[in-house]
A and B are shown apart, each in its own frame.
Chain A
Amino acid sequence: MAVYEVTFPITDEAEILKLRAGDEVVVQGHIIGIRDRTQIRIFDQGVEPPMDLKGAFLLHTAPGVRKLDQGDARGAGSQEPQASPAVPSEMTGRPAANINPAISTSKYEPVCIGTTTSARMVRFTEPLGTQYGVRAICGKGGFPDVAIEPMQRLGMVYFAIVGGAAALETTQIEEIEEVAWEELMPECLWKFRVKDFGPLTVGIDAHGNSLYHDVQTAATKKLEELFARL
């Protein structure tokens, strides 16, 4: 089992294809927080996500955050929190791409950011890959076997994080750079800049291997043996 460092969003598919189930991975760069209601809005209600998800790493999360007032945000040396979305970029100093009514102008800081159970959201795996080019999904508890085939076909991986280890995870999130669909709080679309995010375990790789499948198969067989002893 190898140990890798991968930076997201990826531009080279080889970064995903080299990973094998069981490998340890630490992530750098930017990751996108997403959850049940966010994906229901994208796929069931047909609303285009206001962030680029190509090559992205998605994290199943609904973070605990604190909204900063203007003074706090200035102290943090970041965005102009009171700027109206209608204000031109040259006046706010923010990139033009952020002038999108779905992107919040508010600034948030992490309080406690952890990860939720992935299995509830497995049906979004294939469209995330085909429609938006997502390359990695990270959560806890794993995906059922139905995710194995699309992940292999689309060159995607599932990363297992340690569920509940949120105090540690929070220290690995350097900044909440962007929040979209603020009205879904806390199930918004979040853009986090991370440093040494992990350790993660490759739960499902892009080659048809799933640790979850292997563990379930062995456990089901073991149950027969245990039942015979009862």
Chain B
Amino acid sequence: MSVVAVDMRQTVEDAAAHLYVWALKDIPQDLRDALFAAADRETSIPGKRVLDTIVKNVQVADDNGNLVCQDTGIAVYTCRVGEHFPLHPTKIYEALKAGTERATLEHPLRSNAVHTITRENTGPNTGYRLPIVHWEFIADWDGLDVKCVPKGSGSENMSFLKMCVPADGVKGIKEFVLSSIVDAGGKPCPPGIVGVGIGGSADYAMYLAKEAIARPIGTRNADPHVAKLEEELYGLLNETGIGPMGLGGDVTVLNCHIEHADTHMTLNPVAVNYQCWAARRASVHIGADGSVDFDREA
């Protein structure tokens, strides 16, 4: 069994090394479609200039095999681990870390990781508690899904949390999301995906907001109350006029995604996590037999 475990660790490491670079270079089709559609419908002159340049940039990245954006971000992985997957999560974490380092050194990618006090570089996009991995465990399954979301700092710096009170209601949630995106202006590289986390606790709301930005664009929450709020906020956000790169225009966001959790009767937390237009993500499905299936669209 130990031989199988060693091989699987290598399989996950190899997959992670490929995933990080692939995510940075080849953006998903749903994002391409959303950007093309945005360029088509934008009417402001600076806004149209921005979106045409973005579309051209995506093409140049394809043609030259280069990264879409220079910010290789902070490596964030979401893992769905089956109950019967033959590699313990401690080893999955080691493999993801090793894969991140290999991708950074072999490409090479810019290394962004620093100690949060000394600001000294800590390694090839790794460090203490880096990369960041979110875990979900799935009963009666023997597979592993890994989604890599390299998160740029320009958009991550535009993250906001408010502990609304129950009396603020859904109106309070809407006002906070709208104000946050107007305050952020051009800094998070709009038009992007506005991720919103509601309910749970302060930390969990922000976690949910991050989950929301990793969804394929325009997918809707399974809860009809939440899906309705997604649609409404999407429309309202594009009425703000902030526009592409904050230079004014019709397209401020590509979409708004919301994830929710039930919460305490006296809590009403709302978290906003912004994902820039270069909303990079790529996934891999690994079977218990070591089969590897890359999926850019998941």
Contacts and interface: CB of A to CB of B under 8 A. Distances in A.
Interface of A: 1, 22, 24, 37, 61-64, 66, 111-117, 119, 140-142, 160, 162-171, 186, 199, 201, 203, 211-212, 214-216, 218-220, 222-223, 226-227, 230
Contact of B241 (A114, A164, A167, A218): A218
Interface in B262-281: 276-278
Contacts of A199: 49, 53
Contacts of B54: 162, 164-165
Interface in B234-290: 236, 239-243, 245-248, 276-278
A226 B236 contact: yes
A47 B49 CA distance: 39
A167 B64 contact: yes
Contact of A22 (B45, B64, B152, B189): B45
A227 B182 CA distance: 13
Given A111-B107, A112-B69, A164-B152, 20 more contacts: A1-B45, A62-B70, A64-B72, A111-B67, A111-B110, A112-B110, A114-B69, A117-B154, A141-B188, A141-B189, A142-B186, A162-B50, A164-B154, A164-B189, A164-B277, A167-B60, A167-B66, A169-B57, A211-B247, A227-B175
18 contacts: A22-B46, A63-B110, A64-B70, A111-B107, A112-B110, A114-B70, A117-B154, A162-B57, A163-B245, A164-B69, A166-B57, A166-B69, A167-B67, A199-B49, A201-B49, A215-B248, A218-B241, A230-B175
- Which DSSP category, helix, strand, loop or mixed, fits chain A's interface? mixed
B278 A215 contact: no
Contacts of B298: none
A62 B240 CA distance: 31
A223 B182 contact: yes
Contacts of A167: 57-58, 60-61, 64, 66-69
Interface in B186-209: 186-189
A117 B187 contact: yes
A223 to B, nearest CB: 6
Contacts of A66: 108
Contacts of B61: 167
Contact of A219 (B64, B174, B182): B182
Contacts of B110: 62-64, 111-112, 186
Contacts of B219: none
Which of A119, A168, A169, A201 has its CB near the most chain B CB atoms (within 10 A)? A168
Interface in B158-192: 171, 174-175, 178-179, 182, 185-189
Nearest to A202: B46
A163 B57 contact: no
B71 interface: yes
Which of A61, A162, A212, A230 gathers the greatest number of chain B CB atoms within 10 Å?
A162
B20 to A, nearest CB: 14
B258 to A, nearest CB: 16
Contacts of B66: 111-112, 166-167, 170
A166 B247 CA distance: 19
Contacts of A140: 154, 186-187, 189, 245
A19 B117 CA distance: 41
Given A162-B50, A165-B57, A119 B69 contact: no
Given A114-B69, A114-B70, A186-B110, A215 B239 contact: no
A168 B60 contact: yes
Contacts of B154: 116-117, 140-141, 163-164
A142 B185 contact: yes
B71 A116 contact: yes
A17 B182 CA distance: 30
A198 to B, nearest CB: 9
B238 to A, nearest CB: 11
Contacts of B57: 162, 164-169
B189 A216 contact: no
B248 A220 contact: no
Of the listed residues A37, A212, A219, the one surrounded by the most CB atoms of chain B closer than 10 A to its CB is: A219
A222 B241 contact: yes
Contacts of A114: 69-71
Nearest to A142: B186
A215 B60 contact: no
Contacts of B53: 162, 165, 168, 199
A24 B53 CA distance: 12
Contacts of A203: 247
A201 B46 contact: yes
A226 B49 contact: no
